[in-house]
Amino acid sequence: MENLKITIGRLTLKNPLIAASGTFGYGEEMARLCDLSGLGAIVTKTITLEPREGNPPPRIVETPAGMLNSIGLENKGLKDFMFNKVKFLEKIDARIIVSIAGGSMAEFQTLAETVSGLRCVAAIELNLSCPNVIHTLQSSRYQLIAQDRKATAAVVRAVRKKTRLTLITKLTPNVTDITDIGKAAEDAGSDALSAINTILGLSIDIRTGKPRLGRIVGGLSGPAIKPVALRCVWQLSRAVKIPIIGSGGIMTGSDALEFIIAGCRAVQIGTAHFIDPEASSKILDEIKTFLRKNRIRDIMSLVGTLAGKGD
Ligand SMILES: Cc1cc2nc3c(=O)[nH]c(=O)nc-3n(C[C@H](O)[C@H](O)[C@H](O)COP(=O)(O)O)c2cc1C
């Protein structure tokens, strides 16, 4: 039997597959469509302190080899999470990572402190990289926290003070140098990095001359972004010592293995779940078959084994 177990900070996962935030809800609805037992962990839809309605429709559009979304962090807020979502999460076998986004340092801290008190929560993912909202911690309308090393470090430091749980910082590819931001998060106390969130994009209907999304721009995900994501995680793996969790267009076991070879200790599956809710189980089977065929006993022995050095 091959060993698929991996650790990220204080978190141990039975396998490296994680459901990506915003593509798996809070697990309950997906449990009706697929078997959750194949997943190492689930990242919840990002929660905010207060409920958010999200952006005006349309909020989803298909693109060649991907999709654009401008959901805008629609969620029912922290109280609803505590009263209505936790009950189900307590029952499942996969580890739970709660994704949080705050409008201020105090909000980030309240969210982190509150979810840290829940027995079923194993880790926190800081969503500093959603391209579909105005980040009130930043000055410009489209600037994300994870586009600014100082703001990233400040949030990580503030949250670090409020939780002993494994802290994961989710980065955006919409930057000149992702390693600069990754290093800032590492220095500020993040236990791991998650990369990448979606890439800001635009789709236009030429018949009407209008954008296809209500907010005009949105985040691109799916196979179209895989090479960008792979490049980002590979660069990060050479720049930081903390584990990297990769995401961006993973649809198959071989996609997931590419991320692991590029330097990721775990991977997140997002858009693939919209096409096939069982995607993660299939990806896990494909990884197991690959390991068996190639007589690789431990998935960890593949992490960061990309041949060639680059510049
Ligand atoms: C509809 C949709 C909603 C998303 N919502 C969130 C979210 O709430 N928080 C977050 O951190 N990422 C969110 N993401 C980004 C995904 O978690 C993931 O990082 C990204 O889509 C890249 O992976 P993929 O190509 O496998 O989907 C969302 C993505 C999609 C497609």
CA of 248 to the centre of ligand 1 (A): 9
Would the CB of 174 count as within 6 Å of ligand 1? no
For atom 31 of ligand 1, the residue with the nearest CA is 271
- The CA distance from 288 to 1, in Å, is 9
- The CA distance from 283 to 199, in Å, is 24
Q: Is residue 165 part of a domain?
A: yes
The answer to whether the pTM exceeds 0.85 is yes
Q: Is residue 259 part of a domain?
A: yes
For atom 14 of ligand 1, the residue with the nearest CA is 22
CA of 280 to the centre of ligand 1 (A): 15
Catalytic residues: 130
Domain count, the chain: 1
Of the candidates 167, 168, 171, the residue with the CA atom closest to the CA atom of residue 182? 171
Q: Is residue 309 part of a domain?
A: no
Exposed/middle/buried for residue 2 (C-beta within 10 Å: 0-12, 13-18, 19+):
middle
CA of 249 to the centre of ligand 1 (A): 10
Would the CB of 132 count as within 6 Å of ligand 1? no
| Residue 166 structural domain | 6-302
Would the CB of 280 count as within 6 Å of ligand 1? no
CATH of the domain at 41: 3.20.20.70
Q: Is residue 254 part of a domain?
A: yes
For atom 3 of ligand 1, the residue with the nearest CA is 22
Q: Using the 8-state DSSP alphabet, how is residue 132 labeled?
A: T
Would the CB of 22 count as within 6 Å of ligand 1? yes
pLDDT at 139: 63
Q: Using the 8-state DSSP alphabet, how is residue 145 labeled?
A: G
pLDDT at 137: 73
Q: Is residue 311 part of a domain?
A: no
Per-residue pLDDT of the chain (311 residues; tens, 9 = 90+): 889 999 999 999 999 999 999 999 999 999 999 999 889 999 999 999 999 999 999 999 999 999 999 999 999 999 999 999 999 999 998 999 999 999 999 999 999 999 999 999 999 999 999 888 877 776 666 689 999 999 999 999 999 999 999 999 999 999 999 999 999 999 999 999 999 999 999 999 999 999 999 999 999 999 999 999 999 999 999 999 999 999 999 999 999 999 999 999 999 999 999 999 999 999 999 999 999 999 999 999 999 999 987 76
Phi, psi of 19 (to 5 degrees): -75, 130
Cross-strand partners of 217: 202
CA of 296 to the centre of ligand 1 (A): 31
For atom 26 of ligand 1, the residue with the nearest CA is 270
Q: Is residue 308 part of a domain?
A: no
Would the CB of 135 count as within 6 Å of ligand 1? no
pLDDT at 141: 67
Q: Is residue 79 part of a domain?
A: yes
Q: Is residue 61 part of a domain?
A: yes
CA of 239 to the centre of ligand 1 (A): 24
